[in-house]
Structure 1
Amino acid sequence: MAQPSRTWAVAATVLALTTAAVVWWLGGPAGPGAGDARTATTGAAAASAGAQVQPSSAPGADNRFFARRHAITTDGPADPLLVHGLRDTLEALLMEAGDASDPATLKQRLAALVNQHFPAALATRALALAERYVDYRVALGSLRAPQDLTDPRALRDALEARHKVRLQFFDDAEYDALFAREADLDRYTLARLEIERNTQLSPEQRTQALQAADNELSAERRAERSAATEHMAAAAQTAAFNASNADERTRYAARSAQYGPAAAQAMAQLDRDEQHWNQRLDQYSQARTQQGEGAGLQQLRQQLFSPEEQQRIDAALALRQLNAGTSGS
């Protein structure tokens, strides 16, 4: 009976770290190759020098990731730049800019494109924010995902580390516009994982704790979680297609009937992106097995993966091992 809880834990972990392909489809950060500057992670500090900001929390506020939702307040009129969907707009801007060999080149392209994505009155501020967003994504490459995807403590530390990187580049209002929705669901997902893994709880206590975690979410976040759950079902369908080696025509027919033609086309593109990701992951894994850790492997890592993708590599390989162990048991 351990299999269902293990499966749930893996799914929750993938959702918490926003690495699952279904998260891309839901409108999260762009997938592989979407406008990332493929640069060495060791250059993150240099790339971001002078671009970081100091968090502007209220005096005495606890700015840690798992306390932040209680520390942020909104005063004054709404900022027309810092609106819901800002992160999607920045990702679209980066995607249009395309791949670049270094952050400086990417930023030059952004300057030429920013007016196509933001009103003229906001373009200057939007460009400055986009440049810091580039530096932030480069800095993410210095983080490593936890080796054990089912360890709540490791996941908590990973989320806290990512949170600290975000605070280096964005003030409170910017952070909320870019990440607040995702962060709420991350905290909720980890809370559920910690409850499920707590062997000291009785069934009644576990039920009560899960209900309390649900109550922490706003109605809006609960609706978003419900939508994510529906798309997890779509991901399960994709896994079944992969297991049966279903061809593109079969997949499209089933998805189009269930979700509509537009969604079926989007999922077909996602299949292709995932295949490309797995091919690169295979190449990296084989190289690591053959030559071990070292400068050559690090160079290959930077060549094959964007800075944001690099933080997914260890988690993806660990998930492969976990799945292999599960199928073999």
Structure 2
Amino acid sequence: MVTRARARAVAAVALALTTAAAVWWLGAPALPGMGDPHPVQGGAAAAPAGSLALPSSMQGTDTGFFARRQATGADRTIDPLLVDGLRDTLETLLLEAGNANDPAALKQRLATLIGSHFPAALATRALALAERYVDYRVALGQLRAPQDLTDPRAVRDALEARHKARLQFFDGAEYDALFAREAELDRYTLARLEIARNTQLTPEQRAQALQATDSELSQEHRTGRSAATEHMAAAAQTAAFNTQNADPYTRHAARSAQYGEAAAHAMAQLDRDEQHWQQRLDQYSQARAQQGEGAALQQLRLQLFSAEEQQRVEAALALRTLQPPAATPGAR
């Protein structure tokens, strides 16, 4: 059953799906102003388009990113620095340090912040790791995401190139702490893509290959994938309701039957929240078109949006230009 908290995640999933394709393979955006993007260089020999990527237990002599064994908790020597969430902490540090076109200047800022995120006993090591993380992010600026994320060969080359960039700056234990979980999902995603694009497979062979690929996922990722699938299904259902101008009664009946009464009420509140948000965006956008920038528009912005919402306004308006007009939730 979808709980109220999980139902609220639908909105985030729907937004993430509109932008994830552009940056998913990098794992994190390159630092602004540091390095111009270039085509991916080198990389492992790419599999032909439509070739079958089998789970690691079924592969032959694959090398590099696709042969790397994911470390398990039992395999790792306990290291107080290399813990879950390390990468999130480093990303938070970069956000706090702010934009900097000069990596050296950014590293100086990190030195002043490191103590607020790591204990004194780990500060020296943590700073050294953070500085290499800056260099790694600069290196990502030299790579270009595949133009077609449905092309297995392009995705495979890109993943291998990113893997090589990571190995330039981090040893095995650091790599596992920072990237192992993501790398498992990347291999899984590519395997499913290659299976789907392999026209030589019969339906039965495709089903067997997909099942074998699923079995390679850790229990943690299988659970997360199941939840994400549920969220995306709910988001797709809401999008269909909006396209059809479905009324609140129709929405509630379908949702309560599929997800339960509590979740249906929570999703109805999401509909109302989204409708109110879009109405305020309409009002603000129309005022901007009529009167342009100025003190009056700024005053209207303060009246219409909370401090947190104001940070989303420009992105929401920009997103509108990339999408066809959508029906208002529950409108008739």
The residue aligned with 2:176 is 176
TM-score, normalized by length of structure 2? 0.58
Q: Does 1:135 align with 2:135?
A: yes
Kindly state the Cα deviation for residue 221 of structure 1 after the two structures are TM-superposed: 1.8
Checking the alignment, whether the CA contact within 8 Å between 2:34 and 2:141 is kept in structure 1 is no
1:39 aligns with one of 34, 41, 57: 34
Deviations 1:36-68 (A, max 9, x none): 3522338xxxxxxxxxxxxxxxxxx97610110
SS at 1:65 equivalent: helix
**Counterpart AA for 1:125:** R
The residue aligned with 2:91 is 91
Checking the alignment, whether the CA contact within 8 Å between 1:111 and 1:127 is kept in structure 2 is yes
- When residues 75 and 180 of structure 1 are mapped into structure 2, their CA distance, relative to the original with a 3 A threshold, is closer
SS at 2:227 equivalent: helix
Percent identity between the two aligned chains: 67
**Which is worse superposed, 225-234 or 181-190?**
225-234
Checking the alignment, whether the CA contact within 8 Å between 1:118 and 1:126 is kept in structure 2 is yes
- When residues 104 and 230 of structure 1 are mapped into structure 2, their CA distance, relative to the original with a 3 A threshold, is farther
Checking the alignment, whether the CA contact within 8 Å between 1:41 and 1:138 is kept in structure 2 is no
Kindly state the Cα deviation for residue 243 of structure 1 after the two structures are TM-superposed: 7.7
The residue aligned with 1:296 is none
**Counterpart AA for 1:138:** V
SS at 1:41 equivalent: coil
- When residues 190 and 161 of structure 1 are mapped into structure 2, their CA distance, relative to the original with a 3 A threshold, is same
Distance 2:309 2:229 in 1: 20
The residue aligned with 2:157 is 157
Q: Does 1:18 align with 2:24?
A: yes
The residue aligned with 1:118 is 118
Kindly state the Cα deviation for residue 97 of structure 1 after the two structures are TM-superposed: 0.8
Larger Rg: 2
SS at 2:65 equivalent: coil
- When residues 151 and 166 of structure 1 are mapped into structure 2, their CA distance, relative to the original with a 3 A threshold, is same
- When residues 241 and 37 of structure 1 are mapped into structure 2, their CA distance, relative to the original with a 3 A threshold, is farther
Checking the alignment, whether the CA contact within 8 Å between 2:152 and 2:194 is kept in structure 1 is yes
The residue aligned with 1:51 is none
Deviations 1:138-185 (A, max 9, x none): 100111122222110110010000000000010000000000000000
Kindly state the Cα deviation for residue 228 of structure 1 after the two structures are TM-superposed: 3.2
- When residues 38 and 173 of structure 1 are mapped into structure 2, their CA distance, relative to the original with a 3 A threshold, is same
Kindly state the Cα deviation for residue 77 of structure 1 after the two structures are TM-superposed: 3.6
TM-score, normalized by length of structure 1? 0.58
**Counterpart AA for 1:155:** V
Distance 2:96 2:317 in 1: 20
1:171-250 correspondence runs (5 A): 171-233=171-233, 236=236
Checking the alignment, whether the CA contact within 8 Å between 2:21 and 2:149 is kept in structure 1 is no
Distance 2:317 2:133 in 1: 25
Checking the alignment, whether the CA contact within 8 Å between 1:15 and 1:186 is kept in structure 2 is no
Distance 2:266 2:166 in 1: 40
Checking the alignment, whether the CA contact within 8 Å between 2:71 and 2:180 is kept in structure 1 is no
Deviations 1:217-251 (A, max 9, x none): 1111212222333444576479779989xxxxxxx
**Counterpart AA for 1:18:** W
Kindly state the Cα deviation for residue 69 of structure 1 after the two structures are TM-superposed: 1.7
- When residues 137 and 240 of structure 1 are mapped into structure 2, their CA distance, relative to the original with a 3 A threshold, is farther
Number of aligned positions between the proteins: 232
Uncovered stretches (5+) of structure 1, i.e. residues with no partner: 1-10, 21-27, 43-60, 245-252, 283-319, 321-329
What RMSD over aligned residues (CA atoms) do the two structures have, in Å?
Answer: 4.2
1:277-296 correspondence runs (5 A): none
Distance 1:254 1:277 in 2: 28
- When residues 104 and 237 of structure 1 are mapped into structure 2, their CA distance, relative to the original with a 3 A threshold, is farther
Kindly state the Cα deviation for residue 270 of structure 1 after the two structures are TM-superposed: 8.9
Kindly state the Cα deviation for residue 75 of structure 1 after the two structures are TM-superposed: 5.3
The residue aligned with 1:166 is 166
Checking the alignment, whether the CA contact within 8 Å between 1:37 and 1:103 is kept in structure 2 is no
The residue aligned with 1:107 is 107
